[in-house]
Amino acid sequence: MSLLRSSLLVGLGSIASRILGFARDILFAQALGAGPVADAFLAAFRFPNLVRRIVGEGGLNPALVPALSRLEQDDSARMAGDVVSAFALALLGLTALVEIGAGLLALFLAPGLHDDGMLALVALYTRLAFPMVFGVTLASILAAFLNMRGRFTATAFAPLAVNGGLILALVVLEIGFTLPMNEKAAWLAVASSLAGLLQLALVAAALRRSETRIVRFRRPQWSPALKNLLLSGFPVLVASGAVQLFFLVGAQVASFWPSGVSWLYYADRVVQLPLGLMAAVGASVLLPELALRLQAGETWAVVRAQNKALEVALLLALPASAALFILAESMTAILFERGAFLVSDARGTARVLMGLSLGLPFATAAKVLSQTLFARGSLRATIVAAGIGMLATLGAAPLLGWPYGPPGIALGISLACMAHAAAILWWLARFGLWSPDRPFFDRLGRIAFSTLAMSAGLLAARSLAPPAGAAGLAAFCFGGLLLYALAAWLTGAITRDDWASIAKKA
C-alpha cells in the first residue's frame, strides 16, 4: 500500500472517529442532560474513555514500534505475542480490581457526588463501562503490529466501533424504550464495553487474515527486552495523555458543583475536536525530519524543524481558540440544547468552554514540543512536565473554582496547560533544543495579528446578527476561516513556500 493511500486511510479514520464521537456526545446531552445522573455517568465514563482516546491515537506506538521493528520477523512475532499476553493478563487483573474496588474508584473520580446515592451510581457505571479498557487497549496494541506490516485499513476504521456502537445504543434507547434516566445510563455503560470488545474482535480478525505471522503466541518469556518495553510504555502513555489527565483532575474538582462534571465534559469535547486534529498536523510536519536529524546529531536542524512545526500548530490553534471563545454561547446552544439539556446547561457549558479555549494554544504547543522529548528518549522529562501540569490543575482549579464555579475550574485547566508547555520548554532549553529565532517570533506576530482581524470580524458579525441554527453557525465558522486565511496571506503569516513544504512532507 502506498504511503499516500495509507496516510489517507489513517486520516479518514481519525476524522470519522472524531465526528462520530462528537455526534455521540450531542446524543449524550439530549438523552441524559446535565443533571446528577449525567454527572455520575460521565464521571464513570471519563476514565475508560480517556484510556480509549490515548491508546486509540497510538499512545503506545512510541514504545512498541521502535523496539519490535529492530528485530527479525520471527523474533518480532514472538515478542509481539509476549507483549499481547502480558498486557492481557495485566488488563484482566486491573479490570478485576476495578470491579471489586469500584466504590473507592468512584470516590476518587467524583468525590463531590456524595449525596443522594450518586457515588453508588458512579460505582455501578464504572463496573459496567470499564471492560471497554480491556478491548480498546489490546486492539490498539494489535493495530500497532498491523501498521508495522503495512496493514492500515482495519486499524484505521475499527476504532469507529466504539462511537458507532454507542450512537446505535442511544438511538435505540431513545426511540424504542421509555426508561428512567439512571437505567438508560446503565445500558449505555454496558454498550460501551460491548463496543470496545467489538473493536478488539475486528482488529483480531484482520490480524488472522494477514499473509504473514505478525503475532506468535507462546508461554510469555519475561525477558529484559519485554520488561524494558513494558516499563517504557507507562511514561509514554502518561506523557501522551497529559492534557487528558488535567481534565480528569478538573472533573474531580468540578464534582462539587451541580452539573459541573457534565458542563466540563461537553465543553471538553468541543475543545478536543480541533486540538486532536491540529496536534496531528503539527506532528506530521515535525516527526519525519526530527527522527533523522537526532540520529545524525544535527541539533541545529532539530531546533529548526521543531520551530517550523510549532509555527504550523499555532497557525491553526490561535484562531481556533479565539473562535471558540467568541462563539461559545452559540455553539453550545446549537449543538447541545435539546431534550434533557436545558438552556441553563447550555449557558453554563458555554462559560466553561470560554475558559478552556484559552488553554488550547498551550495544549497544542505541548503536544508538538513533547515529540522532541519522545524522540530523544527523555521519558523522565515528559513525566515531570506532566506532573507539573497536574499539580497546577490541583492548585489552580479549586482556587479559581471557589469564587467562579465550573468556569473557574476550566480556567485552572488552561493555566495547567500553560504550565505543562512551560515545563517542556524548560527541559528542551536544558537539553539545548529550544532556541526560537527571529523568523519564529516574526511569524508568531503575524499569526496573532491575523487572529485579531478574524476576531474583530466575528464580533462585528455577531453584533449585527448572531448565528441562528446549525446553518448560521456553519456560516460563521466558514466566514471566520476565510477571513483568517485572507489576513494570514496578506500579512505573510502563511506563504506559498509553506504550502509547498507541507505538501512535500505529506
Structure confidence at residue 297 (pLDDT): 64
- Mean pLDDT value across residues 476-485: 93
User: Of 465, 442, 445, nearest to 453 (Cα)?
Assistant: 445
How many angstroms separate the Cα of 358 from the Cα of each of 159, 250, 389, 414, 443? Answer: 30, 15, 15, 6, 20
Q: Are residues 172 and 277 located together in one domain of the fold?
A: no
- Mean pLDDT value across residues 214-235: 68
How many angstroms separate the Cα of 293 from the Cα of each of 40, 61, 289? Answer: 48, 20, 6
Structure confidence at residue 334 (pLDDT): 92
pLDDT band with cut points at 50, 70 and 90 for residue 294: low
Q: Are residues 217 and 279 located together in one domain of the fold?
A: no
Q: Helix and strand tally (H, E) in the chain?
A: 22, 0
CB 193 within 8 A of CB 57: no
Instruction: Give the whole-angstrom CA distance, residue 118 versus residue 127.
Output: 14
Q: Are residues 209 and 263 located together in one domain of the fold?
A: no
Instruction: Give the whole-angstrom CA distance, residue 419 versus residue 425.
Output: 10
- The DSSP code sequence of 256-275 is TSTTHHHHHHHHHHHHHHHH
pLDDT band with cut points at 50, 70 and 90 for residue 22: confident
Q: Are residues 183 and 282 located together in one domain of the fold?
A: no
Report residue 209: phi and psi, to 5°. -80, -5
Q: Are residues 311 and 208 located together in one domain of the fold?
A: no
User: Of 200, 241, 224, nearest to 88 (Cα)?
Assistant: 200
Q: Are residues 252 and 233 located together in one domain of the fold?
A: no
User: Of 301, 276, 304, 326, nearest to 466 (Cα)?
Assistant: 326
Domain limits for position 330: 243-506
Structure confidence at residue 288 (pLDDT): 47
Q: Is residue 160 over pLDDT 90?
A: no
- Mean pLDDT value across residues 374-382: 78
Non-local (6+) Cβ contacts of 191 within 8 A are 165, 166, 168, 169
Structure confidence at residue 151 (pLDDT): 66
Please tell me which residue, 208 or 254, carries the higher pLDDT value: 254
Structure confidence at residue 313 (pLDDT): 82
Task: Please count the other Cβ atoms lying within 10 Å of the Cβ belonging to residue 337.
Answer: 17
Instruction: Give the whole-angstrom CA distance, residue 160 versus residue 52.
Output: 11
- Mean pLDDT value across residues 306-318: 84
Choosing from 240, 271, 302, the residue where a domain stops is 240
How many angstroms separate the Cα of 395 from the Cα of each of 98, 110, 161, 249? Answer: 28, 17, 38, 10
**Total domain count, the chain:** 2
Q: Are residues 258 and 216 located together in one domain of the fold?
A: no
pTM of the entire predicted model: 0.86
Choosing from 240, 271, 299, the residue where a domain stops is 240
Structure confidence at residue 3 (pLDDT): 44
CB 425 within 8 A of CB 366: no
Instruction: Give the whole-angstrom CA distance, residue 390 versus residue 5.
Output: 39
How many angstroms separate the Cα of 202 from the Cα of each of 124, 172, 337? Answer: 28, 23, 35
> How many percent of the chain have pLDDT more than 90?
41
Q: Are residues 348 and 223 located together in one domain of the fold?
A: no
Residue count of the chain: 506
- Mean pLDDT value across residues 186-205: 91
Q: What is the residue-averaged pLDDT of the chain? A: 83
Instruction: Provide the terminal-to-terminal Cα distance of the chain, rounded to the nearest Å.
Output: 15
- Provide the b/e sequence for 205-215 (b: ≥16 CB within 10 Å): ebbeeeeeebb
Q: Are residues 233 and 248 located together in one domain of the fold?
A: no
Instruction: Give the whole-angstrom CA distance, residue 113 versus residue 151.
Output: 45
Structure confidence at residue 357 (pLDDT): 96
Q: Is residue 282 over pLDDT 60?
A: no
* Residue 180 half-sphere exposure toward CB, CA atoms < 13 A: 4
**Least reliable range by pLDDT among 238-242, 312-316, 480-484:** 238-242
| Most confident stretch, 89-103, 216-230, 349-363, 436-450 | 349-363
Q: Are residues 234 and 247 located together in one domain of the fold?
A: no
Choosing from 219, 240, 261, the residue where a domain stops is 240
- Mean pLDDT value across residues 323-334: 94
Instruction: Give the whole-angstrom CA distance, residue 19 versus residue 28.
Output: 14
Structure confidence at residue 6 (pLDDT): 52
Q: Are residues 160 and 68 located together in one domain of the fold?
A: yes
Instruction: Give the whole-angstrom CA distance, residue 146 versus residue 339.
Output: 42
Structure confidence at residue 333 (pLDDT): 93
Q: Are residues 178 and 306 located together in one domain of the fold?
A: no
- Mean pLDDT value across residues 330-352: 93
Q: Is residue 154 over pLDDT 90?
A: no
CB 473 within 8 A of CB 334: yes
Q: Is residue 318 over pLDDT 90?
A: yes
**E strands, 56-113, where?**
none
Structure confidence at residue 283 (pLDDT): 47
Instruction: Give the whole-angstrom CA distance, residue 296 versus residue 278.
Output: 28
pLDDT digits (tens, 9 = 90+) for 25-47: 899 999 899 889 999 999 998 88
Please tell me which residue, 50 or 129, carries the higher pLDDT value: 129
Please tell me which residue, 272 or 32, carries the higher pLDDT value: 32
